[in-house]
Amino acid sequence: MSGNGISLEARELTRVYRMGSEEIRAVDGVSLTIGRGEFVSFVGPSGSGKTTLVNLLGCLDNPTSGELHLAGRSIFGSGHILSEKDLTRVRRELFGYIFQNFYLIPTLTVRENVALPLAFYRKPETEEEVDRLIGMLGLEQRRNHLPRQISGGEMQRVAIARALVNRPEILLADEPTGNLDTKRTEEIGEVLQELNRSRGLTIVMVTHNPGLARLGERIVEMRDGRAFEA
Amino acid sequence: MITKFQVAYRNLLRKKMRTLLTLVGIMLSSWVLVSLLGFNRGYERSLNHDIENMGYQLMVMAKGCPYEAATMMLQGGTGLRYIDQTMVDSIAKEPEVDKITPILMQAFFDPNKGDGGGIAGYYGVDPATFPGMKPFFRFRQGGWFRDETAAEAVMGYEAAELEQREVGDMIIVPEKNVTLKVVGILERTGTQDDGTIFVPLKTLQKIAATDKITTIGIKLKKDADSAKLEAELYKLPDVQVVSFTQVKQTIMKLISTARVMVFSVAVIAILIAMVGVVNTILMSVLEQQQEIGILKTMGAMPGDIFRLVWTETLIFCGCGGVAGIGLAFVLARMTDILMRRILPYAPGGGLVAIDLRLALLTLTVIVTVGLASGIYPAWKAGRVRPLESIRSDGR
Ligand SMILES: Nc1ncnc2c1ncn2[C@@H]1O[C@H](COP(=O)(O)OP(=O)(O)OP(=O)(O)O)[C@@H](O)[C@H]1O
Ligand SMILES: [Mg+2]
């Protein structure tokens, strides 16, 4: 998509929450560049602005100021704000998301959950993606199970498959193992690393788990809304 | 793969009890609506059928309120006013008259009929002219009387059914202890005639010890001026003229009051059901904010979510509507009985006539109203922002 190898570029991104007369600068002038195929971990204390930043990068939210370029395209900048529809278009083109809670649809089977995004939007040549991902994430035996019939680790793998079914360029993961034990956390870590290596998937991950964070080639630390790279 | 429709209907299955209750609400309102529409049609049709099958369009009787006469008849046959039979000949001379027949109505109290007795209605009819008025009468058994003074009777379908009579049986006129031989039993006509016992006029006059009659039935010539004849008849002393067109109008007027009331009930039922739909859908939208949010991160547009939620409403109203209409078909007979209880006058025959057209009309109404009530919850769901819904999750 972008020829120059840059997947994502943020300049002076700022997000201010206004609570009455109080202003919280949750993200305070963050500039960073993430290249295609990079695996970047965001760490930092609670309330330091990790989620807020990652949401801005993932077009889930509009910044108060600053610029964002994605795949060579200017998304936010010079005060222009995208409508919900435009944000949706950018999101479904470029991103897959996973969260601490898996948000599987409880009435749909594993396979149906994975295929669900295709009901709304479908990139060309994604027909076989559902089964390929199910196979790759080791969910064959579970394909016809309902979410309540599988383990937390499996649920997160279903969520990963669902996030990838439309072949996104960037996977955004906000504390993907926050609800999982050590063993499952390691499993998910391996899956993410494998996806990054074999498919060249760009991964932006927030985590409190130092072991998991170390899987990233880069670790960005957030403090009071600012980003510091080790 | 999975379609939006599947997502919508599986979602409805999630809260089974709530879905079921809402469905029952829609079903009941659709049942009420289609039954009422069917009743509206059926009632008028049966009334027309009744009136056409009277055979005559005008009836002349002694002055007095016809309802009063009817009540008196029901109370035991005494007190009925009579008119002279000679009047028949003078009316027959009027140019508008096609056919004319004298009738003597008598009602006797039969202590053996039903629980605690009942009224047996006897019609003294003229064998020469009465059958001509009712060419549509069909005999299940036997035929008309042998002559005009025979001690014979022709029984209406239900009258015969009730007493398990066959041709050749002897029946006893209550109160009078006169024996009559059954010579004919009529097929069902779906009118009041079904409950009547017909006897030759002269025979009944002898039994009732009178030479008078109570009623004259008049059949008009084709295209004759009914109003002119009515005016003419009113000149006769002490009679009143009942025109069945008028009777029909009066009855329809009486019915329309009942109709307005029942329609209000239907409208209220539909409104309540729709409030139920809005409530159910809105609740599920609120409960599933996060899921809706996640659909949006997957690339669902506000319009997609709107349609998804709207589809749920559509499924609700479609299923509930169809079930209600089915129920109405199945319970038409019961509705009929219920209606007869609350109506001032009910003709014979089916009161509730539901056909495919009415069913489709009802379904359209239910679905339209349902879709209208789905707009708000669907719009609300479409506006859910992915971020807030995911954040609203006590991180
Ligand atoms: N919707 C909001 N309205 C107001 N303030 C908010 C909102 N979202 C976040 N904040 C504030 O912004 C700051 C950064 O929050 P954020 O969720 O980005 O932190 P975080 O680093 O992800 O924390 P955690 O590790 O606990 O998830 C916090 O002070 C938080 O209270
Ligand atoms: Mg966070």
How much is the pLDDT for B344?
A: 66
Using DSSP, state whether A166 is helix, strand or coil: coil
| d(CA B395, ligand 2 centre) in Å | 8
Spell out which residues of chain B touch residue A166, defining contact as CB-CB under 8 Å.
Answer: 298-299
Residue B58: per-residue pLDDT:
85
Paired strand residues for B108: B120
Beta strands in chain B (DSSP E): 58-62, 97-110, 118-125, 139-142, 152-155, 170-173, 178-186, 197-200, 215-220, 239-243
Q: What is the pTM of this model?
A: 0.71
pLDDT 10s digits, A125-175: 887 899 999 999 999 999 999 999 999 999 999 999 999 999 999 999 999
Tell me how long chain A is: 230
Compute the distance between CA of residue B2 and CA of residue A111 in angstroms, rounded to an integer.
Answer: 9
Q: What is the pLDDT of residue A1?
A: 38
The Cα–Cα gap between A94 and A72 comes to 12
Helices (H) and strands (E) in chain A, counts: 7, 10
Contact status, residue B142 vs residue B165, Cβ threshold 8 Å: no
Residue B69: predicted pLDDT: 54
Residues β-bridged to residue A229 = A220
- How would DSSP label each residue in B94-111? STTEEEEEEEEEEEEEET
Closest-CA distance of chain B to residue A34, Å: 21
Tokens representing B292 are 């809706």
Q: What is the rounded distance in angstroms from the CA atom of residue B265 to the CA atom of residue A97?
A: 51
CATH of A6-18+26-229, one of 3.40.50.300, 3.40.50.970, 3.40.50.11720, 3.50.50.100: 3.40.50.300
> Which of B71, B153, B190 is CA-nearest to residue B119?
B71
Are B186 and B194 a contacting pair, CB within 8 Å? yes
Residues A23, A17 contacting (CB under 8 angstroms): yes
**Residue A86's closest chain B neighbor by CA?**
B301
- What pLDDT digit, counting tens, does each position of A161-198 carry? 999 999 999 999 999 999 899 999 999 999 999 999 99
- The pLDDT, as a whole number, for residue B66 is 56
pLDDT of residue A188: 92
Strand partners, A203: A39, A171
Q: What's residue B75's pLDDT?
A: 47
Measured distance CA(A4)–CA(A35) in Å, rounded: 9
Residue pair A75/A58 in contact (Cβ under 8 Å)? The answer is: no
User: In the block, which residue shows the tokens 């998304």?
Assistant: A75
Q: What is the mean pLDDT of residues A20-35?
A: 93
Q: What is the C-alpha separation between A168 and A161, in angstroms, rounded? A: 11
- Paired sense of beta strands B197-200 and B152-155, if any: antiparallel
pLDDT of A123 over the 60 cut: yes
pLDDT at residue B394 in the model: 44
Q: Which residue has the higher pLDDT, A40 or B135?
A: A40
In angstroms, the Cα distances linking A31 to A11, A67, B23, B203 are 4, 9, 55, 116
Please, what's the largest Cα pairwise distance for chain B? Answer: 101
Domain boundaries, chain A: 6-18+26-229
Q: Based on the number of CB atoms within 10 Å of its own CB, is B391 exposed (0-12), middle (13-18) or buried (19 or more)?
A: middle
Ligand 1 pocket: which of A27, A51, A177 to mutate (most atoms within 8 A of CB) = A51
DSSP string, B173-197: ETTTTEEEEEEEEEPP-SSGGGG-E
Q: How far is CA A23 from the centre of its chain?
A: 27
CB contact under 8 A, A119 and B1: yes
Query: With an 8 Å Cβ cutoff, is A91 touching chain B?
Result: yes
The pLDDT of residue B63: 74
Residue type, B80: L
Mean predicted confidence (pLDDT) in A200-218: 94
Asked if B299's CB is within 8 angstroms of A103's CB, the reply is: no
pLDDT number for residue B169: 92
Write down the pLDDT at residue B136. 84
Q: What is the pLDDT along chain B (395 residues), one digit of tens a residue?
A: 778 888 887 887 888 888 898 899 899 889 888 888 888 788 888 877 777 777 778 888 877 655 555 555 454 445 567 888 888 888 888 888 888 999 998 888 877 776 777 778 889 999 999 998 888 889 999 999 998 899 999 999 988 998 899 999 999 988 888 999 999 999 988 777 888 899 999 999 999 888 989 889 998 888 888 888 888 888 888 788 888 777 777 777 877 887 788 788 888 888 888 888 888 889 888 888 888 888 888 889 999 999 989 998 888 899 999 999 999 988 888 888 887 777 767 776 777 788 888 899 999 999 999 889 899 999 999 988 887 666 654 44
Residues of B in Cβ contact (< 8 Å) with A88: 296, 299-302
